[in-house]
Amino acid sequence: MPARLLLTGLLTAAVLAGAIASGQAQERRIPGKTPPAEIEDTKPLPGAILRRVAPPKNRDPAKIDGISVPDRWRLIESLGVKESVVDPYNRNPLKGDRPVFGDDWFVNLSVISDTVYEPRSVPTPVGVQSTNRDNSVDLFGEVNQWIFNQNLIISASLIKGDTAFKPPDLEFRLVPVINFNRAVVEEERVLRADPRQGTTRNDRHISLQEAFIDYHIRNVSDRYDFDSIRVGIQPFNADFRGFLFQDAQLGVRLFGDRDNNIFQYNLAWFRRLEKDTNSGLNHVGRKVREDDIFIANLYWQDFPVLGFQSQFAAIYNRNREGNDFFFNDNTFIERPSSFGSERGRNYDIGYLGFSGDGHFGRLNLTHSFYYAFGSDRDSAFTDRKADVSAFFFAVEPSIDFDWVRLRGSLVYASGDSDPFDDTETGFDAIFENPQIAGSDTNYWIRQTVPLIGGGGVVLSTRNALLPSLRSSKEHGQSNFNNPGFRLIGAGADFDILPELRLSTNLNYMQFDDTSTLEVARNQQDIDREIGWDLSAALIYRPFFSQNVVFRLSGAVLFAGDGFRELYGADAANEDAFYSVLANLILTY
């Protein structure tokens, strides 16, 4: 033991002596002469910031120029943390984890593959000019169809800013989409106006869904309440569930918040772009439509109770397409629609809305109410000016019990009771994408149902609730001569596994008033009943994230009396239509 202590003491003394000798040698160095090895050690790192530091004691400040200190984005590299452009969850320069230009310019890149395969049955007319089946002289033909749709979505943002706790100073975003779609039906002249084009259609389209500049004007508080402006093609949703206007359109939007984010506001103007007919995506190569949308809304957090958000909106839709003749990509006429007198229309419509989303204790609640008013220059059945006065409301309460959520759905849109008077009372939206009652799992919302024998319009459009009798949602004009809509439904979501959810819905649907349908079809006493819509969907996320999502859903519409009177039992395939949807989303 004494020998070990003696050895330890000798080693300590040797280390101290070496340190003293090194210090004396440094003091004897010639001023301004630094050994090459020391120059290599003090070379600044890439992106490093040179800062003046206080000199150590007994050192001449004139001998010290500065030392290299890595900035906060590269300091982590000295700890051995590596970055990868493949891994989206760890340090990745393509996901905004460090600047790529200067000290505060970041890149955020996302790539999404969205694949859909959809067999379905839809009421289908026999082609007027010809049919490929012998003895097909009825109005209604074979109903089976299927579609395949593939979208490749690339979202690229260049962002200037140096923290996640305040809005970015500047953002440039581009979102191109590459689309391929294929449709197969059983009847001629369903996919294209020319019956010689057959029953199969392949199409492709490249779209620009977003292209905007977002400029941060100012902060108005130390909690980063702000004002910003965004110019270009940008997404916007007028309410919580997409009942009135949800789209990516060309516009200018001033937005911000106040009082520690309790109040949020939007002031926006959009001019609608034309759409590609078969993909539903923007078509920037075409002339911009003469359809303007002016929006002012205010969100109020924790009003009227904590945990609930209210929204107040005023929206004005100015349409001047009365002299516009437009044929879609399949050479069917869209404007003016083949409905009523088939004349172009100009209209000015205002919408006042009140919406809310949140919870009252355990009860979750989403609701929207809209009142539409204004004037239609040429009513479809009278060619006279008509006043518009219509309303819409939707409510969806839900409550959670452990791994089960129970939901209820109630929707009402007023219908027009007299197509020949000077007041139009059928409610119509601008561009709806509703998220209620099962949304696109629901057959009625998902599928396009044509009004066969009532003009070249559809009873309901794809991804829409309202039976507005438009030529299409993408190209057509709003129409306030329509039968309106009623829905009452119930549903339940079951989290079977953390990565697997089952969603079910059962909805009963009616028209509000069938007067417009009776005039359009020249058919008396059409019943209000549309029928029952039963649907279920499995949503599987194998990695507990949105990077891989697979959804398989099925829906059946059991035709009610009104639906059978419009299409007949044979057209309804023994009083029922079906829809199957397989959807795979891969996200980087």
Tokens 């924790």, located at residue: 302
- What's the pLDDT tens digit per position in 175-195? 999 999 999 999 888 999 988
Report the pLDDT value the prediction gives residue 141, as an integer from 0 to 100: 82
Mean pLDDT confidence for 1-13: 44
Beta carbons of 274 and 290 less than 8 angstroms apart: no
How many other C-beta atoms are found inside a 10 Å radius of the C-beta of residue 59? Answer: 12
Q: Are strands 308-320 and 326-327 parallel, antiparallel or unpaired?
A: unpaired
Q: What pLDDT score was predicted for residue 384?
A: 92
195-198 — which CB contacts under 8 Å span 24+ positions? 195/127, 195/129, 195/130
Question: Would you say residue 137 has pLDDT above 60?
Answer: no
Residue 557 sits at φ, ψ, to 5 deg, of -105, 115
- Residue pointed to by tokens 């010689």: 196
**284, pLDDT greater than 90:** yes
Of 539 and 45, more confident: 539
Percent of the chain past pLDDT 90, that is, above it, reads: 70
Query: In the chain, pLDDT over 70 holds for what percent of residues?
Result: 85
Q: Which residue in this structure is represented by tokens 């149902």?
A: 449
pLDDT of residue 165: 75
Give the span between the Cα atoms of 552 and 537, in whole angstroms: 6
| pLDDT score at 454 | 84
Confidence at residue 110, expressed as pLDDT on a 0 to 100 scale: 96
Mean pLDDT taken over the chain: 87
Q: Buried b vs exposed e over 270-302: b needs ≥16 C-beta within 10 Å?
A: bebbbbbbbbbbbbbeeeebebebebebebbbe
pLDDT at 159: 96
Range of weakest confidence among 18-32, 236-250, 461-475? 18-32
If you average pLDDT over residues 500-509, what whole number do you get? 98
Dump pLDDT digits (tens) for 15-36: 444 444 444 434 333 344 444 4
Contacts of 94 (CB under 8 A, 6+ apart): 85, 107, 108, 109
Cα dihedral 159, 160, 163, 169, rounded to 10, equals -110
DSSP helix/strand/coil, 384: coil
Residue type present at position 64: I
Tens digit of pLDDT for each residue in 475-494?
Answer: 999 999 999 999 999 999 99
Q: Any bridge partners for residue 52, and if so which?
A: none
96 contact partners, CB below 8 Å, separation of at least 6: 106, 107, 108, 159
CATH class of this structure's domain 105-582: mainly beta
User: What is the pLDDT confidence band of residue 254, given thresholds at 50, 70 and 90?
Assistant: very high
Q: Which residues have a Cβ under 8 Å from the Cβ of 23 and sit 6 or more positions away?
A: none
Residue 286: pLDDT band by 50, 70, 90 thresholds? Answer: very high
Degrees (nearest 5) of the Cα angle 171, 244, 453? Answer: 130
C-alpha span between 269 and 250 (Å, rounded)? 8
φ, ψ of residue 559 in degrees (nearest 5): -65, 135
Is pLDDT above 80 for 49?
A: no
Phi first, then psi, for residue 59 (nearest 5°) are -120, 145
Residue 39's pLDDT is 35
Q: Which two tokens stand for residue 469?
A: 């009798």
Flag whether pLDDT at 388 surpasses 60: yes
Mean pLDDT of 344-366: 97
Give me the pLDDT at residue 264, please. 98
pLDDT per position as a tens digit, 144-175: 999 999 999 999 999 999 777 788 999 999 99
pLDDT (tens digit per residue) in 393-424:
999 999 999 999 999 999 999 999 999 999 99
For 69-93, the pLDDT digits (tens) are 566 777 777 777 888 888 888 889 9
Q: Residue 215's closest CA among 170, 276, 259, 249? A: 170
Q: State the average pLDDT over residues 327-349.
A: 93
Residue 328 is predicted with a pLDDT of 94
pLDDT at 567: 86
3-state secondary structure of 521: helix
Residue labelled with tokens 């279920």: 536
Q: Where does the pLDDT of residue 344 fall: very low under 50, low under 70, confident under 90, or very high at 90 and above?
A: confident
In terms of pLDDT, which residue wins out, 128 or 349? Answer: 349
So where are the chain's domains? Answer: 34-81, 105-582
Task: Give me the residues paired with residue 249 across strands.
Answer: 234
Structure tokens at 167: 């809005």
Which pLDDT belongs to residue 132? 63
Per-residue pLDDT of 88-107, as tens digits, reads: 888 899 998 888 988 889 99
